[in-house]
Amino acid sequence: MNTVIDTINMKPDITGLKYDATESSPRRGFISVSSKSEDRELTVTGRQMLSSQGRDLLRNLSLAGFAIRKHNQYVAKGTFNCSIPGQPEYNDRIKRYIYIWSRRSNCDISGRHSLRKMLNLIETHRVIDGDVAVLKIRNGKLQLIESDRIRNPLSDLKGDGWEWVQGVKIGNNVQAWKYCIHKRNDGGGFTPEREINAENIILVGYHNRIDQIRGVSLLAPAINQFRDIYEGIDYALAKAKVAQLLGFATITNAGNYGMTSEQDDAVEEHHKQLEKFGKGVMHLDLRDGEDVKLLNDATPSTQFQQFVQTVIQIALSALDLPYIMYDSTKGNYYGIKGAVDDYIEACNEKQEQLIDMLNEITDWRLRLAIADGELPLPPNGMSIEDMLWYCDWTGTRLPYWRMLEDAKDMLLSIQTGILSPQKITNMYGIDFDENLAEIKQAVEIARKLDVTLPYSQTLNIGV
């Protein structure tokens, strides 16, 4: 049976299919069209306002501080490893050098922060300000430059015609060539300090578009929700205080205004009894025919509390934080486990730029150390490039509290060949070679002291 479709007489509502999202509606806000770049959409003034509000929330709203600290707990992490095959001593020397250099007196030009703390500050500034600059200095140390210190110069003295965009001189292909760094004035303004070539700076930020130059804060979509929570809780507490102050009302049955001496004595005695409630509770003494409407004592209401929970979930989603991390009573172990697994996947994406930054810094620092004679050349004629191939950083790993619950699955994965022991240890951020060496050392010490470790019988380790 052949079916012929009559396209001529087809109804317009079938042939005229369109995207409803492009149509204006009285039920939704007006649709505006913009073809600006992200750096034009978020102007210098807008960037300052976003940063100021984010910093204010970090100072005054504990929920925002919790969200950023929890975010940093998983994202602002890095573990260095050097694993040149057959060179355990050289690997250990490289790792010890990076460990010592990571101390605050060796890596921070100001001498205040270790590399671990600098990584935490970098991520905090990425979240609040959108980006932060890491300056590599000739003496092998680092300097962090906050986002608002990168600004356009007052004038381009060289006049080469290249464009400055929010403190970054860009080329025809939108690549960065220079950064204009300013210093802060005591009154809150900025004064141009110097221009730095782009190869000496690593700009770490959150970017959502291809031609975007400056990063944008992750908190930008949630700033209003966080402020609503902050103000809403304050108003709810104020309302609860008023409800507590307006404690009760009594009615004096004494006609309109005149009272006999006996009634007056009774009222005086009545007031003495009321003083037992204390001066903090407001008492309204009403006469016959008078009335007062007090505030509802169910403050805050259950509906308000549920609504606040919903707003908190929306605000935390800006950092991909599952609500169960904020309130663990909302789920069981498997719910938390699934939420953490999904969250770690989201963290890995956020960490890519941080890991690239750490690898670039390590590449730069190890080359300086070899050139200055602080480290020997790679063994067996290996080139520096080949040596650096085996030096890398790893980021977020599974929390240790899950190891016992996951032990059976990990053992089965190793026995069936699905995962190697190296991959299992990497999942938890454990160095496989160091772990084996420590196990061997523990077994040897235990045997010398005639102590039996639970796993020593299964390991063929001689004393």
In a domain, 13, yes or no: no
Helix (H) or strand (E) holding 304: helix 302-316
- Which position has the higher pLDDT, 161 or 105? 105
The predicted model gives 329-357 an average pLDDT of 84
Q: How far is CA 134 from CA 102, 162, 323, 442, in A?
A: 15, 23, 33, 41
pLDDT greater at residue 334 or residue 123:
123
- Residues 6 or more apart whose CB falls under 8 angstroms from that of 215 comprise 126, 129, 130, 131, 147, 203, 204, 205, 206, 207
pLDDT at 251 > cutoff 60:
no
Is 130 contained in some domain?
no
More confident residue, 262 or 35: 35
- R_g over Cα of the chain: 33
Whether 267 shows a pLDDT value over 70: the answer reads no
Query: Tell me, what's the pLDDT at 1?
Result: 46
Indicate whether 325 belongs to any domain.
no
- CA dist 420 and 215 (Å) reads 38
For residue 168, being part of any structural domain is answered with no
Q: Hey, which of 21-25, 87-91, 423-427 has the most confident mean pLDDT?
A: 87-91
Beta-sheet pairing, 190-197 with 163-165 = unpaired
Name the domain count of the chain: 1
Q: Is residue 83 part of a domain?
A: no
Residue 76 CB contacts under 8 Å (≥ 6 apart), including other chains: 119, 120, 122, 123, 124, 354
Q: Is residue 268 part of a domain?
A: yes
Share of the chain above pLDDT 90, in %: 40
Strands (E), 43-165: 79-82, 131-136, 142-145, 163-165
- Dihedral sign of CA atoms 50, 51, 54, 56 in order: negative
CA 374 to chain centre: 36
Beta strands in 173-254 (DSSP E): 176-184, 190-197, 201-205, 246-252
Asked, for residue 307, whether it belongs to a domain, the answer is yes
* Domain that includes residue 268, residue range: 223-319
Closest CA to 84 of 388, 342, 356, 344: 388
pLDDT value, residue 54: 92
Phi–psi pair at 455, nearest 5 degrees? -105, 5
Is 308 among the domain residues? yes
433 burial via Cβ count (<10 Å: 0-12, 13-18, 19+): middle
